[in-house]
Each structure stands twice: as C-alpha cells, then as structure tokens.
Structure 1
Amino acid sequence: MASQNTSNVGNDLSRKFALDVKDMGSLRQGARAGTPEALKGAATQFEAMFVNMMLKTMREASPQDSLTNSDQTKMFTGMQDQQTAQSIAKKGIGLADMLVRQLGQNDKQALAVGGAGDPTDGANAGSFAGMASLMDAKLQKAIAAAGGNAAAKAEATAEAKTAAPARRGSQAPHVVSFQEKLSSHADEASAATGIPAKFMLGQAALESGWGKREIKGRDGTNSNNLFGIKATADWKGKVVEATTTEYVNGKAQTKVERFRAYDSYADSFKDYARLITSNPRYEKVLASAGDASAFAQGLQKAGYATDPQYANKLTSIIKRSLAG
C-alpha cells in the first residue's frame, strides 16, 4: 500500500503556489509519486501554469500606459495573475481532468490484468510510473515556458544534454541532423499543444521526407511547410502551388494543390500548433497525445491525410527512427 506521506503529495500541491520557486521540486515529486491523488494534484498545478501563461500573454498584448508600466506594478500584477490562475485551476477548466483521463487511457489494460487494487502494487506500479514520467515531462516544459526559476531550467537543460548523446548515438545521421535542426521549434509547439515534441518531429519527417522532399513552388521557392498543410479558403498568408499525391478511394492520384508558405520553420510549427488546437476535428488527437499509435490513428481518422497507410508510417517513424 502507498504510504500516507506519498498520498498527501497531491493534496499538498493543491494548496501551494504553482510557480513558487520553493515548490518546483515538490511539483515534480508529485508527478513522480505515481498515485492517483498525486497525479491529480500535479495535473491541477499544470493547469494553473497553463492559465497563468494565458493571462501573461494577454497582458503583454494589451496596451500599457506610463502610469502603470513600472517594474513594481508589473511585479504585483504578475503575482495577482499567478494567484488568479491558482484559483481558476482549483475550480477547473477541464485541462487537469483531460490530462488525467488521457494518461489513464494507457493504464486500462494494466488495470484489467492487475485488478483494481492499490496502484502501487504489482502490475499497476509500472503503469502508474509511466503516467508519472509523462506528467513530469509535461510539467518541466510548462515550468520553463512559464518562466520558471533559473535552477529548474538549468537542471532540465543539463539532463537533456547528458541524455542526448547516448540517445542519438543509435540513430541514423539524417535523423540526428533533422532533430538538431528542428527540436527547439518542436519543443515550443509541444508547450502550446501538449503533444510530445517527438510526435511532431515524426510527422514533419513523414511529410517532408526528413527534409529532403520539402514543398516548393514551381519556381523553386521553399514554402518551409513541414506538415503539408494546404492553403484553404480561410488562409490569408503566402501560398505555393506544388504537385502532390492524394488517395481517392484508396488509389493514388497526382494533383496540383495550393499549400501554405511560411517565412521560417518556426512559423510552420506554430501554424501546425494553431491548427491542431483550434480545429474541433482534432480534439480526439489531442486527447490521445500520450500514445504514439493512438496519436497517429487519430490524425488519420480526423482526415489529416488521405494515405491509407499514414498512421502506420507515422507510428513507425516515432517508435523506431526517433526511439530513445
């Protein structure tokens, strides 16, 4: 059975300030504890961070006058926003519940095999550990994106630098090169969507042939469009026309289509993040972002691509080429 001390981690977190420097370690500990109570508490704190990021973004986008635009007022409004975010998260906007449900989906088989007993016992222990690991990764990204303390950022950066050489040592050179070029953009999009950066890198690799078949206009202009997003009627930005393969009733056909064009790869990732989070058809894709196969199947079912093998190809890239 889980100890009383471990069970209280989630409850303690719900009473603490999400972005308090002193409680960063407790927040990660809560995610790693692996019990339902601790996971719920960590998810609530993640929701508070998300709300605080939205409030911060809205303030930065609002006009500032000279009377209220001082370091002191910024400090106090920042504290107010953090406290507001904490209050909103306690009532809930649905994000914490979605995270717990999403991570719990991966546990159904383990729970069915191991029974409905203590989640820290037997077969369930490994399952909840996996949930905790994913939640911890999400929390660390949220901490960095929300302007977390320098020590937390330094710790995350050091861990990434230490793990990267060992992980990439077993990968093909073109895979390593692709990741190094685009990982920072994928990390930003991951913070905005909750989708693991590796999943988005895999999709960019599939759509662009690891960068070797990027969409270009007839004059050779590079669209920087890594995700094959077409320029529909509501698109107001730049476009390029290119030949592509579409599947109609399972049969491949060559067509000339209009695709969105961007100034940079960073803009491509940002637009992809907007598309996935704002279009209702991808709701289930976001809900299954904790599992590569479910994520890929969700994209195909939502009609992201017409290739009948799209999900299988994407799953293979994520699990094999980008494994580590």
Structure 2
Amino acid sequence: MAVATDLSTRFALDVQAVDGLRATAKGNGRAGLEAVARQFEALFLNMMLKSMREATPQDGPMDNEQSRMFTAMLDQQLSQGMASRGVGLAEVMVRQLRHALPPDPSGGEGDMQGAGEMDSIPVPPHGARGTGSLPASLPVAPQSIRVARREPPADPGSPPIGAPSAEPRRTQETAASSSWLPPQAMEFQARLMPYARQASAATGIPARFMLGQAALESGWGRREIRGADGAPSHNLFGVKAGSSWKGPVVETMTTEYVDGVPRKSVEKFRAYASYAEAFKDYVQLLSSNPRYAELLSQAARGLDAEGFAQGLQRAGYATDPDYAGKLGRIIRTTPWS
C-alpha cells in the first residue's frame, strides 16, 4: 500500500498536520484513507507504548511529572515513526474501508474493490436483444428483498479502462461493433451476456438492459461487493439480505439517499455461489415483487432504455435520484455484443 503521508518526517504534535490531512482527504479519497489509517495505526501504537510504560515501575529519582510529560511526547514521536513503516493495521483498515470510497475520476485505482474509472470516449447507440432459455428451476427468493445502490460510477456513460485480458471469440459483426471497448468491458460482456440472455427470456427485458444495470452497480465488475477476505459475492445487482434470507451474506459500506441527501451505512448483502445464481435471483426478484409488475408489463409490450431505467426508479429499486439517468446513459452509449 502506498503511503500517502510520510509520518516519520513530521513532528507528532504539529497541529498543521491536521490541516494537511484534511486537505488530502478532500482532494484524494484513496490517499486520504491511507493517511488516516496510518494516523490511526500511530494512535494504536502510542496506546500500546503507554500501556507498556504504565506496567513498568517508575519510582526512581528521575521520575516526576516533567519526565513523564517528555516521555509521553517521545512515545508519540516513536509511534509516528513506527506507523510510517507499518505494522499491518493500516493495510487492513484500507482493505475494509475502501469500498466506501467514491469512484476516482482520475483513474488512479486499479483494483476490483475501489475502482470506478470511466473513459469518456463518446460512442453511438447500439444494441441487440439477446434470447435464450432459463433453467426451469429457480432458487426461491423472499419477497422482502431490499435492493440498494452501491455508488455507481461517476460517469456511467462509458466502460472503464482495465488491464489486458483474453478477448472472447466473436463473429466478425460483433467484433466490428465492440472493437473500441476496453478489455475490461469486453471481458465483462463476454462473461455475463449468456446469463443476461437467459434472464431476458424469462422476463422479456432486453439482455443488454440488465447487463447495463449490472455494469452500473458493479463498475463493470471492478467494484463488485466482496467479503472481508476478498472473496467475491457475485452480487452484481446490489441485492440486500433481508431478515428472511438464510444464505451467506457479506457486509459492506453503501450509500443511501434520504430526502436527496447521501448517507453512508454498513449493510448486509446477499452472497451467491456464481453469477448464474445472481441472475436467477434477480429474475425471481422482478417476477415475485409486485413493485415490478408494471415494469414487466411494459417489457412485454416493448421497452426502451429510458423506460426500463425509469421503471426501476419508480419501483424504488434505488434511492439515488439520478439513478434512471445514469442507467439510461450507460445502456444507450455502450455497443453491446
């Protein structure tokens, strides 16, 4: 983990360091998180040193109030130096809390949990509805499922730049239409489109619409909900684990809008064994919850990107007031294979 601030070069009691830390946190979320984690680690080490001092007999001739004050100052400086080299606590905190960071528009992140980089390349509307068959038996999902939004990318109109990956086998027509896509988005489509087509056959909603929503919720797979051990939850749609859910869950920070104001909270989300199971549960959610009856009815008569996005918004799928706009843009401007 990169160290945002070299604590070993600063005086432990420098009050200006607080202003510098505040500026770092406002200007760069990841760097600010790392700096705060280092400070917390230093505080922890200082408490440890203090406990060690208290456990040591201090009845010597040099023991007095002044010596204890200077010893405490020395311990603070020592803890700063030790924290700058790291003892592992700061790294654990960053791994746990980086889910709560907003996407970095500068593209500075490169990991699955904290990335939300979006390329601003304009693309023409394109898409084709896929078909397929869904297995007859679907896992039963409680009707009390709650769905939450996990901070969609700042500019959901284009897919993110990702690391090179193996290009899927496509027809010449498909290759020509999606050759501009970054490898991350191409791999995301190739891996999940078969499941989206199966879900489309069951709901009547075009596969690219559902895949666009999965891309929005997960940052094209780069911000997928993960457990504390880093294991993927395969939860692409931000489905919360209600009280009736008996399966595995993962806890992560999420953003909810209350009266239009974003607020962060730690919530429990469903964890699936595979992406196929996630899409099946998504189909069950739309099919069994009366809130989405109007949306499915419109899908049977024909549905465009705006209609799908606005239908989800009206049904209360997400609390973000601009959710429909973001989802509509990502569906319209992405060439789907």
**If the length of structure 1 is used for normalisation, what is the TM-score?**
0.50
* Partner-residue secondary structure (3-state), 1:308: coil
CA contact (8 A) 2:250 2:269 kept: yes
- Largest Rg, 1 or 2: 2
Corresponding position of 1:318: 331
The secondary structure found in structure 1 opposite 2:193 is helix
1-structure distance, mates of 2:217, 2:335 = 15
Match of 2:320 among 307, 312, 316: 307
- 1:291 corresponds, among 267, 281, 304, to 304
Give the match for residue 274 of structure 1.
284
> Match for residue 62 of structure 2?
none
1:169 matches 2:179: yes
| 2:216 aligned with 1:203 | no
Give, in whole Å, the separation in 1 of the partners of 2:203 and 2:134.
12
The match for 1:113 is none
> 1 CA distance for matches of 2:335 and 2:279?
18
| TM alignment of 1:134-213, pairs within 5 A | 141=131, 161-213=171-223
Between the aligned partners of 1:226 and 1:322, the Cα distance in structure 2 is 20
Shift of 1:273: 0.8
2:255 paired with 1:245: yes
Gaps in structure 1 of 5+ consecutive residues: 1-132, 147-159
Gaps of 5+ in 2: 1-126, 136-169
Alpha-carbon distance in structure 1 between the residues aligned to 2:263 and 2:243? 22
- Please state whether the residue corresponding to 1:171 is helix, strand or coil: coil
Q: Taking structure 1 as reference, are residues 241 and 173 closer, same or farther at Cα in structure 2, changes over 3 Å only? A: same
Higher relative contact order (CA 8 A, sep 6+): 2
Structure 1 residue 200: Cα displacement: 0.7
Query: Which of residues 244, 249, 261 in structure 1 aligns to 2:271?
Result: 261
> Counterparts of 1:294 and 1:179 in 2: how far apart (Å)?
22
Structure 1 Cα separation of the partners of residues 326 and 243 of structure 2 = 29
Which position in structure 1 is the counterpart of 2:114?
none
Residue 70 of structure 1 is matched in structure 2 by none
CA deviations over 1:162-220 (Å, ceiling 9, x no partner): 43112212333322121011111111111111111100110000100110101112332
| CA distances 1:27-85 after superposition (whole Å, capped 9, x unpaired) | xxxxxxxxxxxxxxxxxxxxxxxxxxxxxxxxxxxxxxxxxxxxxxxxxxxxxxxxxxx
SS of aligned partner of 1:242: strand
Contact 1:202 1:322 in 2 (8 A): no
The CA distance in 2 between the partners of 1:294 and 1:220, in whole Å, is 36
Name the residue aligned to 2:240.
230
Amino acid at match of 1:276: L
Which amino acid letter does the alignment assign opposite residue 200 of structure 1? M
Q: How many Å separate the matches in 2 of 1:322 and 1:273?
A: 24
SS at match of 1:220: coil
Other structure's SS at 1:288 match: helix
- The DSSP-based 3-state class of the residue aligned with 2:171 is helix
1:310 alignment partner AA: Y
Q: Would the aligned equivalents of 1:175 and 1:322 in 2 still touch at CA under 8 Å? A: no
Indicate if the aligned counterparts of 2:178 and 2:336 stay in contact, CA closer than 8 A.
no
Secondary structure of the structure 2 residue equivalent to 1:223: coil
Contact 2:134 2:199 (C-alpha < 8 Å) held by counterparts? no
Q: Structure 1 268/168 Cα, relative in aligned 2: closer, same or farther at 3 Å?
A: same
For the residue of structure 2 that corresponds to 1:262, the secondary structure is: coil
Q: 2-side partners of 1:323 and 1:161: how far apart?
A: 13
Cα distance, 1:145 vs structure 2 = 6.4
| Contact 2:312/2:324 (<8 A) preserved | yes
1:191 & 1:218 partners in 2: Cα distance?
Answer: 35
Measured in 1, the distance between the counterparts of 2:227 and 2:304 equals: 35
- Range with greater deviation from structure 2 (160-169 or 232-241): 160-169
Structure 1 stretch displaced more, 231-240 or 265-274: 231-240
- Which residue number corresponds to residue 16 of structure 2? none
